[in-house]
Amino acid sequence: MKYLDLAMNAAETLGAEYADIRIQKTTDQVIYLQNLSLKHTSDNTMQGYGIRVFKDGAWGFAHSNVFSDEAVLATVKKAFDIATLSAAVNKDKKLRLAPERSYLSTYKTPVKIDPFSVPVSEKIDLMMEVSRTMLAYEGIKRTIFLLMMHKDEKLFASTLGTRLDLTTQFINPMITAVAVTESDSQSRTFDEGGRATGWEWILELDLIDKAKQIAEEALMKVKAETLGPEERRSLVLDPNHLGLTMHESVGHATELDRVLGWEADYAGVSFATPEKLNNYHYGSELINFVGDNTLEGGLATLGFDDDGVPSQKWYIIKDGILKEYGSTRDTALEIGLNASRGCNRATYYFNQPINRIPNLYLLPGTKPLTPGELIADTEDGVYIQGRGSYSIDHHRINFQFGGDFFWEIKNGKLIRPLKKVIYKSCNPEFWNSCDAICDKRFWRPFGVVNCGKGQPPQTGRMTHGSSTARFRNIRVGGSQ
């Protein structure tokens, strides 16, 4: 596209040390069904471009949705001017960009059936059938089916000479049943998070069967007992629960911008500071976290990040020891890294990219172990599935999590369903308490599509994953 060269030439002529342009078209289709009322069925398209100029150790970022030579040149000038204003403030401490080479490349999310090509009527028919299935259960008063389809088409150019053509997409079905009695209401949700794939995933999921399961479990949950006072117990955590726990307590804690204090005003900082690299026991020896933006189906598998840095795979925690962070070109040099790990991502064209969690997952255990065997080996504990209440402090140390469905474990057996269970723990206690992880046969991904961060706020996406794992001696009890 001619605007790529036009913008980069203009930025260089003005005196930019580095500049890039990201022309981005984002298409969303969102269908929201509440009971049998279609509350929202919408196709949304946002297209425009964002131009970053780096000059004298400072950024300027300007965006526009007007596609003309004049508008592009005016946007470059605006970015350059505000970079100049920023540079005057940064004269004592300049930002620096990690070196990177140029790339000419394309990337496309592998998709067999493009969700946008599936007729809306087919999607709605499926959703209505799922909702009717749940509403057929007496006691289910409210059902929700949210189906999101998202596609980003990006053209990226930088003054390094990089030219990228990237098309990435994901799909995310989420189904909730709410059971109500005279004294309580409880929900149960089918939520695997989003996945970077096509409609074929929806066809593989037996959503009618899932609907029956969550409706029945919502009814079971609303009638379930509470756990009682807080005690130290074992926790057996399902992958679609652990996804959020690792997101909050490892993912955000190992974003290098937080570590550097760049999010101090809003999203917070991190306890996992650079002097802890290569010596801090973040977890037990079983704990291996990998940053992997090459993961098949991963929501952060995008080919390249918005710095023009290719996707990579690296250890963040190895054998329990903190090894590295997720980094960007403007954070990497701050702690002496040679290059960025490619974690700079923006949500829409009008967002300046920020340091994001990569696809981050817990490697499975190396010895054969099934979830059934793990539960059979647990004397007193709680098995938690799905995500519920979650809250963590702004240093990413102390946290409290709920869940979506709970079973009490006694003497190796699931003896009764529970509700309103919460657990409290902190870093590094929690990950050091892990004493068993099921093997790779039970590893499952969990996609997060709504990771809020930044000012102005952006919604990021990434995939986590794990096998079912056990954590010993955690404070677990009923709420209040």
Partner 1 sequence: MNSDKIVQYIQKHCIADDWTLNITKDDSHETRFAQNVITQHIAGAMKEISLSVAFGSKVGSCTVNQDDDESLAYIIKTAEEIAKLAPEDPEFVPSTGKMNIPEIANCDPQTKSLEPKQLVDIVQNSINRAKTYGATVSGLTEKHIETNGLFTKNGFAGEYEKSDFGHSLTLKKDEVETKVAYEAKEYAAFNLETLLEKLFTQAATLAVKQTFEPQKIAVLLRPLALQELFWFMGWMMDRRYADEGITPFTDQIGKPFFGEKFSWFSTCKQPTLLAPPFTSDGIIAEEIPWVEKGILKNLSTSRYWAKKMGSKPSVNYNMFIPGEGYSEEEMLTMVPRGLIINSFWYIRSVDVKAGEFTGTTRNGVWYFEDGKIKYAINNLRFNEIPQEATKRIIATGSSELANPISLLPAMLIDNFNFVDKTSF
Question: Which residue, 430, 435, 383, is CA-closest to 408?
Answer: 383
Least CB distance to partner 1 at residue 251 (A):
15
Residues of this chain, 296-355, that bind partner 1 according to CB under 8 A: 330, 350, 352, 354
Virtual CA dihedral for 64, 68, 74, 80, nearest 10 degrees? 70
Phi, psi (degrees; rounded to nearest 5) at 332: -55, -45
Which of the ranges 59-67, 103-111, 235-243, 432-440 carries the binding residues for partner 1, by CB under 8 A?
59-67
Given the complex with partner 1, which of 366 and 391 has the nearer CB atom? 391
Characterize the bridge pairing of strands 163-180 and 104-108.
parallel
Question: Contacts with partner 1: how many residues (CB under 8 A)?
Answer: 86
Residue-by-residue DSSP string for 333-356 = GGGT-SS--S-EE-SSTTSPPEE-
Q: Does the protein bind partner 1 through residue 471 (CB under 8 A)?
A: no
**One of 9, 398, 459, 473 touching partner 1 (CB under 8 A):** 398
The nearer residue to partner 1, 162 or 186, going by C-beta atoms, is 186
* 271 vs 158: CA distance, rounded Å: 34
**Minimum distance from CB of 392 to partner 1 (Å)?**
6
The dihedrals phi and psi of 339, each to the nearest 5 degrees, come to -155, 160
Helices 69-89, 2-14: axis angle to 10 degrees equals 40
When the beta carbons of 347 and 467 are compared against partner 1, the nearer one is 347
For residues 420 and 326, what is the distance between their CA atoms, to the nearest angstrom? 34
Cβ atoms of 128 and 143 within 8 Å: the answer is no
Distance (Å, whole) CA 382 – CA 373: 15
**Shortest separation between residue 295's beta carbon and partner 1, angstroms:** 27
Instruction: From 58-66, 212-220, 275-283, 294-302, give the range in contact with partner 1 by CB under 8 A.
Output: 58-66
**Looking at beta carbons only, is 181 or 366 nearer to partner 1?**
181
Structure tokens at 381: 């504990």
Helices then strands, each counted (H, E), the chain: 10, 25
The region of 120-128, 200-208, 302-310, 318-326 touching partner 1 under the rule CB under 8 A is: 120-128
Site for partner 1 in 34-53 (CB under 8 A): 36-48, 50
By the rule CB under 8 A, 405 interacts with partner 1: no
- Choose between 366 and 479: whose C-beta lies nearer to partner 1: 479
Task: Find the binder of partner 1 among 5, 69, 184, 209 (CB under 8 A).
Answer: 184
Judged by CB under 8 A, the residue of 136, 203, 264, 376 near partner 1 is 264
**Of the residues 70, 104, 117, 119, which one makes contact with partner 1 according to CB under 8 A:** 119
Q: Does 61 bind partner 1 (CB under 8 A)?
A: yes
Strand ranges for 6-120 from DSSP E: 18-34, 37-55, 58-64, 104-108
Distance CA 329, CA 239 (A): 32
Contact between 244 and partner 1 per CB under 8 A: no
| Position 117 contacts partner 1 (CB under 8 A) | no
Report the residue from 391, 410, 440, 450 that binds partner 1 according to the rule CB under 8 A.
391
CA 97, 103, 109, 110 torsion: positive or negative? Answer: negative
Per-residue mark of binding to partner 1, 122-161 (x: CB under 8 A)? --x---x------------xx-------------------
* 3-state secondary structure (DSSP) of residue 3: helix
- Shortest CB 442 distance to partner 1, Å: 28
**Closer residue to partner 1 (CB): 102 or 181:** 181
Does 395 sit near partner 1 (CB under 8 A)?
yes
Count of C-beta atoms within a 10 Å radius of residue 413: 12
DSSP category for residue 93: S
Q: Which residues contact 81 (CB under 8 A, 6 or more apart)?
A: 60
Chain mean position to CA 142: 27
Is residue 424 a contact point for partner 1 (CB under 8 A)? yes
Rule CB under 8 A: say whether 402 interacts with partner 1.
Answer: yes
Tell me the three state secondary structure of residue 70. helix
Does the footprint of partner 1 cover residue 103 (CB under 8 A)?
no
CA Rg, the chain, in Å? 24
Q: Residue 310 gets which letter from DSSP?
A: B
Q: Least Å distance between CB 125 and partner 1?
A: 9
- Per CB under 8 A, the segment of 11-19, 234-242, 410-418, 421-429 that binds partner 1 is 421-429
- Residue 102 or 479 with smaller CB distance to partner 1: 479
**Shortest approach of partner 1 to residue 313 CB, angstroms?**
27
CB count in 10 Å sphere of residue 149? 24
422 binds partner 1 (CB under 8 A): yes
Q: How far is the CB of 365 from partner 1 (least distance, A)?
A: 30
